[in-house]
Amino acid sequence: MPINAGPGASVFRLERSYRERLLFEGKTNGDDRLAFALTDGSATAPVVLWHDPGEFQASLVGATAVVSGVVYFVTWEYSHSFFGTSRTTLWRSNGTPDGTTAVTTLPCLDVDLTAAAGLLFFDCGGVWRSDGTAAGTVQLQTVDAITQVFNLAATERGIFFESASGAVMEVWWSDGTTQATKALASFPYDYNQGFLTVLGERAVFGVGQHDLWISDGTPAGTTRFAMSPDP
């Protein structure tokens, strides 16, 4: 059944539920500008949290996450020309227009958000965290231009994630502070790897094609868990 987002509205993409309503990216009330809004699915006009201000040629709403009852989302505004400019902005909202504010602009394009330990984590040329303020949005991991960060996995105490550069893959842990953000172990990078999952407060991840490792977030507690036989 189609989602009713109010008169003149069109839904491009549903994002997530929030406080018994649906967050969506689309157009509202016949307005041609892109919007990020909340609807209860009825004919009532949606609550618009963000409208494209029209400073660039186009815009997108990216990742969303909810941390301690606050919804975070990312907008990307850009120009179509080859050397066009762009702006990526992290926002926070309590579900009302007046309670929706920009946290900060980010120096990257594609951002995925992960909620953990009451904080927001994301990859933006290395792992960052935010407490919802500009001053509290900081880079935890410094990487070079060829480093890839992936598999951010949340626990109640922080996050595990993987980082690959050249022929080396590392497994990391962070509790949201720079002091406790550290590599736990490094391995030869195998492109057939690709999973890291959380088991309670520990992480289980693959190394190569046959080894299974487990970590409690410390280098000493990062050990081989199992090794499968050759196929």
Q: Mean pLDDT throughout 213-221? A: 96
Distance (Å, whole) CA 200 – CA 109: 32
Is pLDDT above 90 for 195? Answer: no
Least confident of 22-31, 56-65, 169-178: 22-31
Residue type at 75 in one-letter notation: T
* CATH architecture of structural domain 112-231: 7 Propeller (2.130)
Higher pLDDT, 32 or 136: 136
Helix (H, G, I), strand (E, B) or coil at 177: coil
pLDDT band, residue 1 (cuts 50/70/90): very low
Distance (Å, whole) CA 66 – CA 224: 34
pLDDT for the residue numbered 228: 58
pLDDT for the residue numbered 165: 87
Distance (Å, whole) CA 35 – CA 105: 18
Do the bridges between strand 35-39 and strand 21-27 make them parallel or antiparallel, or are there none, so unpaired?
antiparallel
Q: Mean pLDDT throughout 136-152? A: 91
Residue type at 147 in one-letter notation: T
Q: Other CB atoms closer than 10 Å to residue 230's CB: what's the count? A: 6
State what percent of residues in the chain have pLDDT above 70: 90
pLDDT for the residue numbered 112: 92
Distance (Å, whole) CA 189 – CA 199: 23
Do 64 and 80 meet the contact criterion of CB atoms below 8 Å apart?
no
Instruction: Provide the residue ranges of all domains of the chain, joining segments of one domain with +.
Output: 1-107, 112-231
Q: Mean pLDDT throughout 9-27? A: 87
pLDDT for the residue numbered 25: 93
Report DSSP state, residue 228: P
Distance (Å, whole) CA 50 – CA 82: 27
Do 35 and 48 meet the contact criterion of CB atoms below 8 Å apart?
yes
Q: Mean pLDDT throughout 141-160? A: 92
Instruction: Please name the residues in contact with 195: beta carbons below 8 A apart, sequence gap of 6 or more.
Output: 151, 205, 206
Which pTM was predicted?
A: 0.90
| Per-residue model confidence as pLDDT tens digits over 42-84 | 777 889 999 999 998 889 998 999 999 999 999 999 987 656 7
Structure token pair of residue 181: 């953000």
Question: Is residue 66 exposed (0-12), middle (13-18) or buried (19+ Cβ within 10 Å)?
Answer: middle
Residue 142's φ and ψ, nearest 5 degrees, are -100, 125
Q: Mean pLDDT throughout 106-113? A: 90
Q: Mean pLDDT throughout 145-149? A: 86
